Amino acid sequence: MLSRYSSWLTNVRAMQLFQLFRQGGVILTAILLAQSGLPTAQLGQYEMLLFIGTLLSFAWLTGFLQSLLGLYPRLTKESQVQLKGQAWLTFCLLSAVVAGALLLFPDQIVRAFTQKGGIPFTILFAFFLLLNWPAYLQEHFYLLDDRPRAIFTYGFLSATAQLLLIAGPPWLGWDFTWSFRGLCLLGLAKWSWLTVYVFQHSTIRWNRRLWQAWWRPARPLVLYALLGILVQSFGPWFVGYYFAGDEAQFALYRYGSKELPLVMALAGAFSTALIPVVAADLTTGLEQLRRKMQSLLHLIFPLTIVLLLTSRWWFVWVFTEDFSASVPLFNTFLLTTIWHLWFVRTVLVALQDNRWQPLFVIAAGVAMVIFCILFTPRFGLVGIALGTVLAYGVEKVLLTIYLWRRHGLSPASYTPLGWFLGYSVALLGAYLISMQYA
C-alpha cells in the first residue's frame, strides 16, 4: 500500500495538493470568517491587509523562485548546495527590507494601496510577513530534492495551522487581534523549519558567480511579476478609488474575486513542477506538458462549468446573504480559468527566455485600464472583473505569438488544442447562461 502511494504521489501531484491546501485554506478561512459574525467592514480590513501583503511580495518572490527552478537542474551538485543557502539569505534580507518598510511607514503604505488611512493589525501582520516570506522557499527546495511526501506533509500542516489560527479566535468569541498574533506564531514556526533545513542541507556562503547566474534570468521575471501584480491589483485599487475607499464594497469585490481554489492550486503547481522538466529536456518536457495538461483540462473545466451554473444557490449559503452581490463577480472571474490553463509561460521560463515578457504585461496593463474605465460606469464591480479577464487574455495571446515566432513552437506543440478550445467555448456559454439569472 505504501509503495503504491509513493508511486502515485509524484512531484507534480504533490505540488498540486500543496497548492490546493494553500488556496483551499484561504477560501475556507474566508468562509469561516464570514460565518463567524465579524462585521463586513472588519472582514474588509483583513482582505485589505492580504492585498497589501501580495503587492509587497509577489514580484520578487515569483521572479526569484521561477529563476531558481530554471537554474537549479543546470548546476553541479556543489553549486546546488550553495544556491540553497544563498537563496535563504537573499529571501531573509529582502523580507527584512520590505516588511521593515511596512513597520516603519504603515499608514503611508496602506493609504497608497487602498485609498484609506491606517488599518488595525497592520504591525502584527508586518511581523508575520517578515517571517513567512522566506518560508516560500521550503516547498520549492523539496521539489528540487524530489521529495513529494515532504511537500505533501508540509503543505497540509502549514495550511491547517493557518486556518485554525485565523478563523479559530472569532469562532471562540475572542478579539480578532488574536488571529494576527497566531499568524505571527505560525510565521516563526515556518521560518524555523526552513532555517533548520537550510543549515542541514546547504552552506551559507556568498558566491558572486552563482548570484549572477541566478539574478540575471530573475530580473525580467521580477519585472514581469511586478507589472503583472500591478495589473491584477489595479482592479482592487480601482474599487477603492471609484467607491471612495468603501470597505463594504471592497469586501464584496474581494469575496467575488476569489477564483476557484482548485484551478489556482492545480494549474499553478502544474506549471511550477513542469518548469524543471522542460528545462532539462525540451522535447520530452513538451510531450509531458501536453499529455498531463489534457488530464488537467478534463478535471478542471467540467467542475468550473458546474460551479458557474449553480453559484447563485451555493454562494450565498457559503458566504451568507451579505455577499449575494458578489455572485456575478465570482462568475465573471471564473472565466480566468481559460487563461490559467494556457501554459505558454511555463515553456518560456523553462527556456530562460524572459527578456521581453515584461512588455506583454505592460500591454495587458494598458488594456486593463481602458477596459475598467469603459465598463465600470455601466456594469459596476462586474465591469472591473470583465476588464481583468480580458487583460489576462491580451497577455496570454501576445506571449503565444512571441513563443511561436521566436522559437517556432506552435500552441499545438504544448497544448491539446482541440480539447482546450472545446472546453473554453463551453465555459463561455455557461457564463452567458448564468448571468441571465445571477
Summarize pLDDT for 394-407 with one digit per residue, the tens. Answer: 999 999 999 999 99
Question: What pLDDT is recorded for position 36?
Answer: 80
Question: If DSSP codes are grouped into helix, strand and coil, which group holds residue 105?
Answer: coil
Q: Position of cell 482592487?
A: 236
Is position 371 within any domain? yes
Dist. CA 433–CA 438, nearest whole Å = 9
Q: Position of cell 537550510?
A: 198
Dist. CA 437–CA 396, nearest whole Å = 30
Q: Please give the grid coordinates belonging to residue 378.
A: 455601466
Q: Are 114 and 51 contacting, i.e. CB atoms less than 8 angstroms apart?
A: yes
Query: What is the number of structural domains in the chain?
Result: 1
Question: What pLDDT is recorded for position 6?
Answer: 62
Is position 1 within any domain? no
Is position 333 within any domain? yes
C-alpha distances in angstroms, 137 versus 120, 122, 132, 148, 334? 29, 24, 10, 15, 29
Q: Are 223 and 358 contacting, i.e. CB atoms less than 8 angstroms apart?
A: yes
Q: What are phi and psi of 415, to 5 degrees?
A: -140, 135
Q: What is the DSSP letter of 199?
A: H
Question: What pLDDT is recorded for position 165?
Answer: 92
Dist. CA 28–CA 60, nearest whole Å = 27
Q: Which candidate, 345, 275, 343, 346, places its Cα nearest to that of 73?
A: 275
Q: Are 267 and 341 contacting, i.e. CB atoms less than 8 angstroms apart?
A: yes
Is position 2 within any domain? no
Report residues of the chain scoring pLDDT below 50.
1
Question: What pLDDT is recorded for position 44?
Answer: 78
Is position 175 within any domain? yes
Dist. CA 79–CA 52, nearest whole Å = 35
Structural domain harbouring 161: 7-435
Is position 339 within any domain? yes
Question: What pLDDT is recorded for position 320?
Answer: 66
Is position 399 within any domain? yes
Q: Which candidate, 226, 224, 229, 263, places its Cα nearest to that of 349?
A: 224
Is position 257 within any domain? yes
Question: What pLDDT is recorded for position 197?
Answer: 95
Q: Position of cell 535563504?
A: 88
C-alpha distances in angstroms, 335 versus 125, 194, 296, 308, 332? 32, 36, 16, 9, 6
Q: Which candidate, 132, 105, 379, 104, places its Cα nearest to that of 235?
A: 379
Q: Which candidate, 301, 339, 304, 333, places its Cα nearest to that of 423?
A: 301
